[in-house]
A = this chain, B = another copy of it.
Amino acid sequence: MASTDGNLATVYVCITCRRAEDPDAEPRPGALLADATVRAARGSGVAVRRVRCLANCTRGPSAAVRANGGSSSWTYIFGGLDLAAASALVDGARLLAAAADGIMPWRGRPEPLRRGLIARVPPLDFAEEDQP
C-alpha cells in the first residue's frame, strides 16, 4: 500500500487540530505536532502522515496509530496531545508494531497515550467476539 512504504507502523497526525482555547492562527498546534512527530520518527521505521481532521476536534490535538504489514492491527486514536507527545506517538507505534495480537499493550505504553486514549478500531480481519 502506498501509504505504508514498508514501515512498521504509521502515525496519522491531524494538522488542523487546535485546542478550544487556542486562537485560530497558523501554524495550528496539530501541524506543529506533525512536524515534531516527523522529526521524532526519523530512523525509527515509523511513517508519519499528515491528515486534515480526525473528527476529534473538541479533544485535540489528535493522532491515530496503526501497525502495518497486515490487516490485523487495531487502530488507536489519541487526543489532548502536546508537542511532548511526538516521541510518545513514535514509541507507541513501535510498541503496537511489535505486538503479535495487534493490540497496543498498556504496560510500557507512554503516558500521553494512556491519558489521551480516545477510542480504538478493530482491524479489517476482526472476527466477532465470543458471546458472553
Contacts and interface: CB of A to CB of B under 8 A. Distances in A.
Interface string A2-14: 1110000000100
State the oligomeric state as a number of copies: 2
A122 B12 contact: yes
A26 B131 CA distance: 13
Given A3-B127, A51-B129, A121 B77 contact: yes
Interface residues of A, number: 38
A126 B26 contact: no
A31 B131 CA distance: 10
Interface of A: 1-4, 12, 15, 26, 31, 49-56, 62, 64, 66, 71, 75-77, 79, 117-122, 124-129, 131-132
